[in-house]
């Protein structure tokens, strides 16, 4: 993409002061996001995916959190901005679909009130216009009879429908960037496909850049343009989606692909998962952060020297001294059987119609 990025993150660091010392949870993150582009951030639990995006608008407790680096949204660097100034960006220019839909909706307020809160703060619209916009947003995210649902409380919606409301809130102020943090993780496969299709369609309509966070490499294959694989607060591999799924080259990415469960082969996860655990952010190992778990490590160098992120061709970046050999990488990719095609819109359309008709009969509400 030739045009200027809408978001540029440069050397972003996030740490927390804890009783056990400084937890360095994001350690020098760099990426660009263009209008209409989907960037996926994948990695195991605790790798810093959520914190790296929350920290952009300081949605982390500060202190104990601290943020450094640059986060350019258009011509503005958000990192030096005060809380007061950040209020103009948070939810307005960067929309968030927070990781946990149960905590991102307040159980004691009707969803209409929660959906319009940001709009009332950020947009200069009359009450009537805000109501119309709320109805339109609920319609867009596939909630049947939206005008009747504004006064309903979160518990009156199914998990899938609640997640749609949370997405509507993320979209409510027409953000340039939408952060969708595990937006489909808690949902069944059909609803998951619908939400993926929905965000893709809204992105085409509204031209947003989307940061799609997930621990599941399979989910993003069909929707991302570029993928960042994070480990212990750093990018260990980054590539355009086709290259990453066809030829993963970092030992960690290959390990992640091998640990994907395959239908009909339930024992595989145990057989092939990555041994050991990620390091604690307060006690990171010397050298390469992944070396204690790496099947390809060269003990001397990997245990003492931190590998830089290097370009192995066409913007495919890896942070390793070692490139997994092409044959092994391709084998892991083939075994993972990840489809790079986007979800079939017809299937999703049929499924959505089904959900619609079921909800008409009081099914999914």
Ligand X SMILES: Nc1ncnc2c1ncn2[C@@H]1O[C@H](COP(=O)(O)OP(=O)(O)OP(=O)(O)O)[C@@H](O)[C@H]1O
Give me the residues that bind ligand X (CB under 6 A), please: 16, 18, 23, 25, 43, 45-51, 61, 64, 99, 215, 281
Closer of 24 and 149 to ligand X (Cβ): 24
Rounded least distance, CB 300 to Mg ion, Å? 35
Q: Choose the contact partner of 236 out of Mg ion, ligand X, none; CB within 5 to 8 A by kind.
A: none
Rounded least distance, CB 148 to ligand X, Å? 34
How far apart are the C-alpha atoms of 359 and 365, rounded to whole Å? 6
Q: Choose the contact partner of 48 out of ligand X, Mg ion, none; CB within 5 to 8 A by kind.
A: ligand X
Closer of 52 and 203 to Mg ion (Cβ): 52
Q: Choose the contact partner of 214 out of Mg ion, ligand X, none; CB within 5 to 8 A by kind.
A: none
Rounded least distance, CB 50 to Mg ion, Å? 3
Apex 51 CA angle, 48 and 56, nearest 5: 130
- C-beta neighbour count of 272 within 10 angstroms: 16
Q: Choose the contact partner of 281 out of ligand X, Mg ion, none; CB within 5 to 8 A by kind.
A: ligand X
Pairing of strands 76-77, 65-73: antiparallel
Closer of 61 and 107 to ligand X (Cβ): 61
Rounded least distance, CB 24 to ligand X, Å? 9
Q: Choose the contact partner of 82 out of Mg ion, ligand X, none; CB within 5 to 8 A by kind.
A: none
How far apart are the C-alpha atoms of 135 and 211, rounded to whole Å? 25
With a CB cutoff of 8 Å and minimum separation 6, the contacts of 365 are: 156, 157, 158, 161, 359
**Residues lying near Mg ion in the complex (CB under 5 A):** 50, 99
Closer of 50 and 114 to ligand X (Cβ): 50
DSSP string for residues in 175-211: -SEEEEESTTTTS-HHHHHHHHHHHHHHHHHH--EEE
Rounded least distance, CB 47 to ligand X, Å? 4
Strands ordered across the beta sheet of 38-42: 94-97, 177-181, 209-214, 38-42, 226-231, 234-240, 317-318, 310-311
């Amino acid at each position: 993409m030739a045009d200027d990025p809408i978001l540029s993150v440069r050397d972003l660091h996030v740490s927390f002061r804890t009783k056990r010392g400084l937890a360095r949870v994001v350690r020098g993150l760099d990426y660009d996001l263009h209008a209409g582009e989907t960037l996926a951030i994948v990695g195991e639990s605790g790798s810093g995916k959520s914190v790296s995006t929350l920290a952009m608008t300081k949605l982390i407790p500060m202190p104990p959190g601290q943020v450094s680096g640059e986060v350019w949204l258009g011509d503005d660097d958000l990192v030096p901005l005060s809380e007061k100034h950040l209020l103009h960006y948070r939810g307005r220019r960067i929309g968030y679909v927070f990781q946990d839909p149960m905590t991102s909706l307040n159980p004691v307020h009707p969803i209409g009130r929660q959906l319009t809160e940001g709009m009332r703060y950020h947009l200069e619209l009359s009450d009537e216009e805000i109501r119309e916009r709320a109805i339109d947003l609920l319609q867009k995210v596939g909630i049947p009879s939206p005008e009747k649902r504004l006064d309903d409380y979160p518990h009156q919606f199914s998990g899938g429908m609640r997640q749609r409301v949370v997405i509507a809130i993320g979209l409510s102020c027409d953000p340039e960037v939408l952060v969708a943090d595990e937006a489909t993780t808690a949902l069944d496969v059909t609803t998951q496909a619908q939400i993926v299709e929905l965000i893709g369609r809204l992105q085409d309509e509204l031209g947003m850049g989307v940061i799609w966070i997930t621990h599941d490499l399979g989910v993003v294959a069909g929707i991302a343009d570029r993928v960042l694989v994070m480990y212990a607060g750093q990018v260990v591999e980054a590539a355009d989606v086709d290259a990453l799924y066809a030829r993963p080259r970092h030992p960690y990415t290959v390990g992640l692909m091998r640990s994907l469960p395959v239908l009909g082969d339930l024992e595989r996860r145990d057989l092939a998962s990555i041994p050991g655990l990620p390091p604690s952010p307060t006690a990171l190992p010397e050298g390469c952060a992944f070396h204690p778990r790496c099947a390809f490590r060269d003990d001397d160098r990997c245990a003492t020297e931190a590998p830089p992120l290097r370009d192995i061709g066409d913007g495919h970046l890896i942070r390793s001294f070692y490139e997994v050999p092409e044959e092994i990488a391709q084998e892991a990719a083939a075994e993972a059987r990840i489809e790079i095609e986007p979800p079939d819109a017809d299937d999703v359309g049929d499924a959505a119609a089904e959900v619609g008709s079921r909800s008409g009969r009081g099914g999914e509400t």
